[in-house]
Amino acid sequence: MPFDSSLLFQVTFWADLLRLIIPATGETLYMVAASTVFAYLLGLPLGIILVVTSPGHIMPNPWVERTLGTLVNILRSAPFIILLVALIPFTKSVVGTSIGTTAAIVPLVISAAPFVARVVESSLKEVPYGVIEAALSMGASPKQIIQKVLLPEAKASLILGVAITTISVIGYTAMAGTVGGGGLGDLAIQYGYSRFRTDIMIVTVVILVVIVQIIQSLGTALARKLTH
Amino acid sequence: MIQINQLVKKYSSRQGTIIAIDNVSLNILQGAIYGIIGLSGAGKSTLVRCLNLLEKPTSGQVVVAGQDLTKLSNRELRQARQNIGMIFQHFYLLQSRTVAENIAFPLEIAGVPKKEISIRVKELLHLVGLEDKSSAYPAQLSGGQKQRVGIARALATKPQVLLCDEATSALDPQTTLSILNLLRDINQKLGLTIVMITHEMKVVKEICTDVAVIHEARIVENGPVESVFIKPQSDIARQFISTVFPNELPADLLKELSTHRDSEIVRIQFLGSRASDPIITDLLRTCDVRANILYGSIDHLRSTLFGTLTLELLGNPAQLKEAHRYLASRELKVEVIQHAL
Ligand SMILES: Nc1ncnc2c1ncn2[C@@H]1O[C@H](COP(=O)(O)OP(=O)(O)OP(=O)(O)O)[C@@H](O)[C@H]1O
Ligand SMILES: [Mg+2]
């Protein structure tokens, strides 16, 4: 009985591929999820402050608005790759190391948070000011307006913002991967680029495309469900 | 209920300073439906927004239910605002909440317990006739229904005052009437004081007890609706009145009539029970004049009748004088539009 070498080759090929791809995908998902969550923990309050302190809003404060706005702009204009390097000492002091997946989350958060602030700001600005005035006329406090008017009224738009942010964080994780952050980006560079494994390159790209598609579809569907 | 004393509101910008409210004083009594009418840009919205301090006056006092709002702290002002409901031309409902949840909103703000909220919301839905729409979202409602939700929401905390900024301007005439009727009912049932901002004299004619005419940031005249309609003091008031009671005669007709000898044109206005008296017959019987009816109208001013009659009276000077004496004795308002030759 002739030995089917091509079958064996295929089995080992796929086993080999999966051995690399599965953990890399896991790392990417971990980085994306953690970065997005922390970016929102910082960016959401920042976005809210940018809106409510803007002229003519519920707590106008030009000084706060301009200072935070400038900070956000500076962070957003710094190229990610530079931030990645510049933040190494800071990262070390926060997570104890500057290499690895967890360490990559620090620069990812620092670069995504100002982006989140702007995305949140633009969502909250879509709420017609008349609705806010109606709430003011009922005696609502600034805190109540934020909790009961701004955030719930902008919910659908905020969800779309989360999808946009997550997707752009995926792009950045690929970059973070190149400096030892792990994940699919790292894999694509190490095998696909440096070792000419075009197959690995293609598989990583396909997985990234699928992840992006899923997140966007989820975001759109959820936003539609929340729009009345 | 509301006293406005020497209110001034200025807006400063790079282009200069705009005086939107120029030294306005008004006294609005408990239970009144007080109309404030003016052309676009006259300052109506600014004035009404000063009444709950959505707009901070530059100077002057706004006293509502005995409290000078301009002297309150932020917390006290929020408390005071729960006693002043407001409805808007564009409704401004929360799109993410159902009708019932929208009505519950001011009660949540006021910290009313959940159980009480649901009872109160039911009452309000009944009051505005929207029981069947309680779980609909604003996007599924017509303009009139949205304004009903706005009214229910504004009344939720049982305020003593309701401010309406062009509350019917986005609605068709039929729906406007139904909303005005609802407001009148509420005014009577709850003894609520209502301030109605509008640019339509029709609204004033329909439900207001008092009216102030605002023009270029100033109140040019104010008083009970009947007296302003019968004896307008300003051109702007006359213009507004003519939009609901047109009484200008065509120019070519006036010209033709002016050639008649021993004839004058008078306009007679009458109010209330006078409107149902047989004036013309009595006039012709008592005085030896002849009359030619040029124009007549009769309509409601709120619930009282208000009529206008334009007549050409024919007779010699003595007879015409006699006719005037007779009309005056009947307490009718007579205006000579064109004197006898
Ligand atoms: N926030 C503002 N900043 C600067 N000027 C303002 C502001 N609000 C109103 N004005 C000016 O004040 C004047 C009165 O405006 P207001 O909105 O009170 O008029 P209005 O009588 O309500 O008119 P409309 O019937 O068109 O609503 C206008 O000249 C307007 O341009
Ligand atoms: Mg206005």
In this structure, what CATH number is given to the domain that contains residue A21?
Answer: 1.10.3720.10
Chain B residues touching A133 at Cβ < 8 A? 54, 88, 92
DSSP lists the bridge partners of residue B193 as B161
- In this predicted structure, the answer to whether residue B159 has a pLDDT above a threshold of 70 is yes
Chain A residues touching B137 at Cβ < 8 A? 228
Query: Which atom of ligand 1 lies at the shortest distance from residue B47's CA?
Result: 18
- In this predicted structure, the answer to whether residue A1 has a pLDDT above a threshold of 50 is no
Query: Best of B7, B10, B11 to mutate for ligand 1, by most ligand atoms within 8 A of CB?
Result: B11
Task: Determine the 3-state secondary structure of B223 from DSSP.
Answer: strand
Measure CA of the first residue to CA of the last residue in chain B; give whole Å. 53
The confidence score (pLDDT) of residue B305 equals 84
Domain of residue A48, residue span: 11-227
What distance in Å separates the CA atoms of residue A144 and residue A153, rounded to the nearest whole number?
A: 13
The answer to whether position B246 is within a domain reads no
B206 and B273 in a single domain? The answer is no
Among all chains, which residue has been given the structure tokens 């005056």?
Answer: B328
Q: Per the structure, how many domains does chain A have?
A: 1
For A79-97, the pLDDT digits (tens) are 888 888 888 899 889 888 8
Tell me which of B206, B224, B242 is where a domain ends: B224
Q: How far is residue A181 CA from its own chain's centroid?
A: 16
> ipTM for the complex?
0.86
Q: Per the structure, how many domains does chain B have?
A: 2
Chain A residues touching B85 at Cβ < 8 A? 137-138
Q: Please, what is the angle between helix B143-155 and helix B173-190, to 10°?
A: 20
Instruction: Please tell me which of the candidates B78, B88, B140 has its beta carbon nearest to residue A130.
Output: B88
> Sorting pLDDT into bands at 50, 70 and 90, what band is A5?
low
Which residue in B267, B266, B93, B84 sits closest to B192, CA to CA?
B84
Query: Is there a contact between A137 and B52 if contact means CB atoms under 8 Å apart?
Result: yes
B25 and B89 in a single domain? The answer is yes
Ligand 1, atom 12, lies closest to the CA of: B20
Domain of residue B282, residue span: 251-338
Instruction: Please tell me which of the candidates A138, A144, A228 has its beta carbon nearest to residue B96.
Output: A228
For A176-194, the pLDDT digits (tens) are 776 677 888 888 888 877 7
Which residue in B209, B197, B205, B207 sits closest to B166, CA to CA?
B197
Upper half-sphere CA count for residue B276 (Cβ side, 13 Å): 5
B45 and B140 in a single domain? The answer is yes
